[in-house]
Amino acid sequence: MLKIILQKCQRRAPRFKVVALLLVGVGLPASCIAHNTMTKNLKVLVSSNDFPASGLKVLEEHFTVLQTKYLNFGEEGQTKTKEDLLKLIPGCSALVWSSNLPISKELLDRAGPQLKLVATVSAGYNHCNLDELRARGIKLSNTPNVLSSAVAEIAVGLMLAAARRFTENLEQVRTGEWEIGFDKVLGQDIRGSTVGIVGLGGIGQAVVKRLAGFEVDKFIYTGHREKPEGKALGAEFVTQDELLARSDFIVLAVPLTNETRHMINTDTLAKMKSNAILINIGRGDLVDQEALYDALKNKQIYAAGLDVTTPEPLPKDHKLLTLPNLFVLPHIGSATVRTRSDMAVLAANNVVNALTGKALVTPVNL
């Protein structure tokens, strides 16, 4: 066995033969040594300096890990991070990507032909140029499922925040001008409502499950096709128009694609009930924000709760932020310690598999 490993190492990189011999001397399993010594010369770039230690540990066991030294925070931080990443990228075999820098043609050119995988640390991959990845034979992985509960919790949080008018109520607390009275700042119930889910994937299903105790009257959903999971959850499959017309809460849980971009626009907002509450946990561009601003301002719909906006960060003087019936979060759907750690480990395992010739754990079909 050892002989075969050493021959392999010799062929690939003679200096690893010496390393392997030394490590056998200290008692490490030969297969692990051969594998690690052969992959240690591969460079993997991690795009953020706050990537969870659990994921880094997996990567560092196998590869040479490069990481930007800047915090991707604020305009200056973002500029420095981008500059740093562009310097580090050439020669990398995999990119572990949690940056808002798009995976573009230019960036892939800069990386070079040895790049095998982009492992995005997100469920969404609309920031990746899929045509370029496909044309170059570069694989793409994402981190679905592990974040479904965390994102669904934020959807439920936004439903409560928008329905119970957290923006106005918080403002009252901050200014000390509380409206004390029996019929002041009344909100809407989730109890007895119809909740419409646009996209009954992992996150959409997790939203329905989390609302189990809220006495929702009816769950309906729309998408490309009826799903067996819908039946199991007691959710009715309807057309998009029917969902818009019937829902008290509309939760957007679909990826951003050419088909879904601006699916919420002047026309679709006009089909909603006047008490409708729109929740977006997908991507900002699912919604035409100008149209949403008008609909909220004119009270054409009741309220909205957004975890995602265009752009991110939303400038602090953006007109959306003047609306009392809008509650906005800074894209924190997956931002829990456990979820981010699970995402990091999943992304790292995808890298290990891609660079050791195994199937990806969570591939994106290109």
Ligand X SMILES: O=C(O)C(=O)CO
333 lies in the site for ligand X, by CB under 6 A: yes
> CA-CA distance, 218 to 241, in Å (whole number)?
16
- Residue carrying the six token digits 């573009």: 104
Does residue 123 touch ligand X according to CB under 6 A? yes
Please give the size of the binding site for ligand X, defined by CB under 6 A.
Answer: 7
The enclosing H or E element of 328 equals: strand 326-328
Shortest distance, CB of residue 254 to ligand X, whole angstroms? 12
Identity of residue 178:
W
The window from 5-13, 120-128, 131-139, 244-252 that contacts ligand X (CB under 6 A) reads 120-128
Residue 1, token pair as written in the block: 């066995």
Quote the CA–CA distance of 104 and 110 in Å, as a whole number. Answer: 10
Please identify the residue of the shown chain whose CB is closest to the bound ligand X.
333
C-alpha dist (Å) from residue 8 to 3, 21, 158, 196, 332:
9, 13, 56, 57, 46
Q: Angle at Cα 316 formed by Cα 330 and Cα 312, nearest 5°?
A: 40
Cβ closest to ligand X, residue 99 vs residue 334: 334
For the bound state, the minimum distance from the C-beta of residue 280 to ligand X, rounded and expressed in Å, comes to: 11
Of residues 124-163, those binding ligand X (CB under 6 A): 124, 147, 151
DSSP character at residue 259: T
Angle at 259 between CA 257 and CA 265, to 5 degrees: 105
Q: Which of 62, 127, 224, 331 is catalytic?
A: 331
54: tokens are 């659990």
- For the bound state, the minimum distance from the C-beta of residue 151 to ligand X, rounded and expressed in Å, comes to 5
Pairing of strands 249-252, 194-198: parallel
> Is residue 331 among the annotated active site residues?
yes
CB of 263 to ligand X, least distance (A): 17
Neighbours of 37 (CB within 10 A): 21
Nearer to ligand X, 123 or 306 (CB): 123
Asked if 346 interacts with ligand X (CB under 6 A), we say no
* 187/313 with CB nearer ligand X: 313
Report 23-42 residues binding ligand X (CB under 6 A).
none
Q: What are phi and psi for residue 330, nearest 5 degrees?
A: -90, 55
Sites for ligand X among residues 262-301 (CB under 6 A)? none
- Of 122 and 194, nearer to ligand X (C-beta) is 122
* Block residue for tokens 């929740």: 279
How many angstroms separate the Cα of 98 from the Cα of each of 15, 74, 129, 145, 346?
34, 16, 15, 17, 13
Judged by CB under 6 A, which stretch of 92-100, 104-112, 116-124, 310-318 contacts ligand X?
A: 116-124
Binding letters toward ligand X, positions 217-256, x by CB under 6 A: ----------------------------------------
Measured between alpha carbons, how far is 120 from 343 in angstroms, rounded to an integer?
A: 9
334 near ligand X, judged by CB under 6 A: yes
Q: Is the peptide bond before 313 cis (omega within 30 degrees of 0)?
A: yes
Q: Pick the closer one to ligand X by CB: 151 or 351.
A: 151
Nearer CB in complex with ligand X: 325/334: 334
Q: Does 122 bind ligand X (CB under 6 A)?
A: yes
Question: Where along the sequence are the contacts to ligand X (CB under 6 A)?
Answer: 122-124, 147, 151, 333-334
Give the active site residues: 331
